[in-house]
A = this chain, B = another copy of it.
Amino acid sequence: MTSEYFHFLSIIGVAFFAISGTLLGHEKSVGGFGVVVVATVTALGGGTLRDILLNKPVFWIAQPDYLYATYIAIFASILSIRHLPDLSNTTMLLMDAVGMAIFNIIGIEKALIGGADMVVAITMGMTTGIFGGLMRDVICREVPLVMGEELYSTACLSGGLTYAALFTLEVSYIWCILGAFAVTVCLRLGAIHFGWQPNLFRKSSFKRS
């Protein structure tokens, strides 16, 4: 995958997470620029942790346009919320789902490029996809989505396994990306809409609501 792809995908992912952070900040009545802090942590947290773990330069310091994209997305969201203050919680979950799916893919690819094996790469994808939203939820004192009963990390993992399968089959990069993205987002949206609740501790049932 060329670095333009990376760049474009990362900008999109950062923007979606920034919006999700702004929406949660609004819902929780966070005051002043605190909203910007939460949204920035959400947008940049996962990728920052990934770069630190892989011992690479942190992406938004090396290329500040990620930081500008974050701030633009946040201020655009704030302006939108001023005119549409009744955005539902579902909007936040959708933004989060897309951001997670994109960062999952980028995390896997960055790890593979760095020479990691596939288990480490899938772990890195989940870290990148989940950590920003996790920090958002911890700071806002929400039950983290990853702790919730609805399928979340499972969607992220399924996307990672899809990527690994397609990668092993030597499918071209663009299909690896699209496949992993589709699986993650569809599972997550299905979980939001139908309330899928997997549980590893019960022997039979997958769904309980």
Q: A residues bordering B, Cβ < 8 Å?
A: 26, 28-38, 40, 48, 52-55, 57-58, 60-61, 64, 67-68, 71, 78, 81-82, 85, 116-117, 119-120, 123-124, 126, 130, 134, 138-141, 143-144, 146-154, 156-157, 197-203
| A32 engages B197 (CB within 8 Å) | yes
| A28 engages B147 (CB within 8 Å) | yes
State the oligomeric state as a number of copies.
3
Assuming A55-B57, A64-B120, A119-B68, is B31 touching A149 (CB within 8 A)? Answer: yes
A52 to chain B: which residues have CB within 8 Å? 52-53
| A200 engages B35 (CB within 8 Å) | yes
Contacts A31-B152, A32-B154, A33-B157 aside, 20 further interface pairs with beta carbons under 8 A come to A28-B147, A31-B149, A31-B151, A32-B149, A32-B197, A33-B200, A34-B146, A34-B152, A36-B200, A37-B126, A37-B146, A40-B123, A55-B57, A60-B120, A67-B120, A67-B123, A71-B119, A139-B147, A141-B143, A141-B147
Q: List 22 A-B contacts (CB under 8 A).
A: A26-B201, A31-B148, A31-B197, A31-B199, A32-B152, A32-B153, A32-B154, A32-B197, A32-B200, A33-B198, A34-B153, A35-B200, A35-B201, A37-B146, A48-B53, A53-B61, A64-B116, A64-B117, A78-B201, A81-B201, A82-B201, A139-B147
Instruction: Look across to chain B and name the residue whose beta carbon is closest to the beta carbon of A26.
Output: B201
Determine how close the nearest CB of chain B comes to the CB of A127; give it in whole angstroms.
Answer: 9
Assuming A40-B123, A140-B147, A198-B32, is B64 touching A53 (CB within 8 A)? Answer: no
